[in-house]
Structure formats: C-alpha cells, structure tokens
Amino acid sequence: MPKLFSSASKKFLKQASKPESALNKFICEHWSSLFPHLTFVASEFSLKGHVRSVGSSGRLDILAYNPASKRFVIFELKRDYDRNIAEQVADYRDYIEENFADVYLRSLQQYGIPLPKFQEMDFKQVEVVIVAKKFSPTHLEKIKKNKEQNVTLIKYFWFEDDFIFIDYLNNDPDEEKIESVDSKKVRLVKEIVNQDPDLYEIDRFFNLKQAGKEAFLIFYNWLKSLGEVRIEPKQVLLKVYFQNQTFSAIGYAGKVASKQILQINTNIDLTGVAGLLVEDRVRSDGRKKGSLASERYEVRIRNKEEMRIMIDALKAKL
C-alpha cells in the first residue's frame, strides 16, 4: 500500500476517500499546474442527443483542448476502476467525432476558448484521459498495446491534507523533460509509491544501512524466486516467513568487532560452511545464549559474497 510521509506533521498521511465530484473540483482548481499542456474548456460539459449505446444523453466530466495535436480531450474521472469505463468513453468519443461542429462552436462561443480555425482542427480523432485509483491489468495492457486509441491512463492517490500523487501510466507529456532534468528523483518517488509492501518495509527498516539492505535484498529476492515470502517488521529485526522456515534479519553498519553488515538468524544448521561466520546459540550444557531473535543459529554477513555463500548452503537444505 502506498504511504506518504509528511516532514511537517512528522507522520504518515492516511489515504483519503473522496467522491468523484471532489476530484473534479480539485483538478479544475489546479488545472494550470496539473495539465499546463492542455487548455481547459469546461467541467460537466453536457452532451445533447443520443450519446451512449443505451440512447441517453450525458455529460463529460471535463472537456479540454490539446493545442499540440489540435484535438479535443475527454477527461473521465473515477473514484475506483469501472469495468465499463472503456465502453463509456468510447461512446462519448464517438459522439464528439460525429457532432464535432456543435462541440467546436460551443467551446468557441459559449466558453470563449481560443481555438484555431475549424479546418485546422483534427476532427477525426479525440484524445481520452482516464483518471482512477486503479486499473485492471487487462485494461491497462490493452491500452498500452493499442497506441492508436490516444488514451492516457493516470493513477492517483489522495492523502489527507489534500496531498495527491499523480502517476502517468502512459503518455507522460513531461517524460523527456523529466528524464533530462531530474529523472533520478522522479523514478525514486514512483518506486516508493508502486513498490510492494515488503520492499517498503525493507527500505524503512534498513534506513541508512545501505550495505546491509543490499545484502538482504539478495537473500529476499532469492527466496521469492522459490515461492511466497512474507515479511513482518519488528522493532529490532525483520521476521521472514518462507515455507515452514523462519529467518530473522538484523541490520548493522559494519562497526561491530566482526565488521558485519547484516545478521541472519535461522534454525537451519550452517555451522561448518566454509567462508561463513556462524554461531550456535545452544551451549554444550543445552542452555541458549541470549539473542535478539528466536532462531538457533546466527550468521554474520560481512559482504555480498558471504550472502551468496549462505544462499548456496541453503539450497541443499531447503
């Protein structure tokens, strides 16, 4: 689940549940900042006559104009994904293409939009922008494959305090500019928002212990390649559940005597594996030494190579 941290309020902001009308109002009020490449025409643009396949009239959530392509742009806003949204937008698009002259004159005369001459407009195609909290994988794949449809998908997350994160899933108008100016920061934000919950918890747990995090991710990704993995963050460790085994990961910054960057506790006996520092917590008299984790064996990882040695040893035991 995406999370947004506010440095001002020192907390994670909760996702807000807003109606489509609130989303429409927010977009219209911040149009010049959100869509500076498009000209706003009207909100709730009414369509007279037979619009949809059922023969009723309707309204466009937002109608805009694209000066670059000289096409009208339909905005369809959804609180959540609607499986019928593709058909609905197709009906609206067909209507505008068939009644282009009327839409053109109303935009020009009723709303005072500075449009080019009628013959200069592209009246054979209409662009569509769908804004929703989620999209079905099937719909997303179809849209991305069929580029001729001129459909842009925008995923949004609305947090408390009116923080909204917008992610263009395709046709990002600022893509080239973003890549040249600040691509690293933008990619980082998108990774944080779109990553799965486990990766988010791993990032948060290791914080500035980058070497330990990188070593742990080698272990985590290897486990995921074998099957389902579950991460449970604790105060001082990450609990890892895989099949009938548990592991505990403890981060270090390489400042302890053994220079370890990561400790993995496991109930699988890895003592005697060449190249690994492994300690058995069970003394000769049967008593256990104290530990932050419950598993018996402590594996002290000093570098990525030792993590790979541990994984090779586990392959024969899992």
Q: Does domain 4-194 have CATH number 3.40.1350.10?
A: yes
The better pLDDT of the pair 225, 145 is held by: 225
- pLDDT tens digit sequence for 43-69: 999 887 666 554 455 788 999 999 999
182-187 mean pLDDT: 55
First CA to last CA across the chain, in angstroms? 30
Q: Is the pLDDT of residue 140 over 80?
A: no
- pLDDT value, residue 10: 77
Task: Decide if 165 contacts 16 (C-beta within 8 A).
Answer: no
pLDDT cut 70: percent of the chain above it:
82
pTM, whole model, 2 decimals?
A: 0.53
The better pLDDT of the pair 9, 118 is held by: 118
At residue 144 the predicted structure's pLDDT band, cuts being 50, 70 and 90, is: low
Instruction: Round to whole Å and give the CA distance between 20 and 192.
Output: 26
- pLDDT value, residue 315: 92
174-200 mean pLDDT: 57
Q: Is the pLDDT of residue 2 over 70?
A: no
- pLDDT tens digit sequence for 263-281: 999 999 999 999 999 999 8
Q: What is the mean pLDDT of the chain?
A: 82
Instruction: Round to whole Å and give the CA distance between 264 and 261.
Output: 10
Residue 281 neighbours by CB under 8 Å, 6+ apart? 288, 289, 291, 296, 297, 298
- pLDDT tens digit sequence for 68-119: 999 999 998 887 666 666 777 788 888 888 889 999 999 999 999 999 999 9
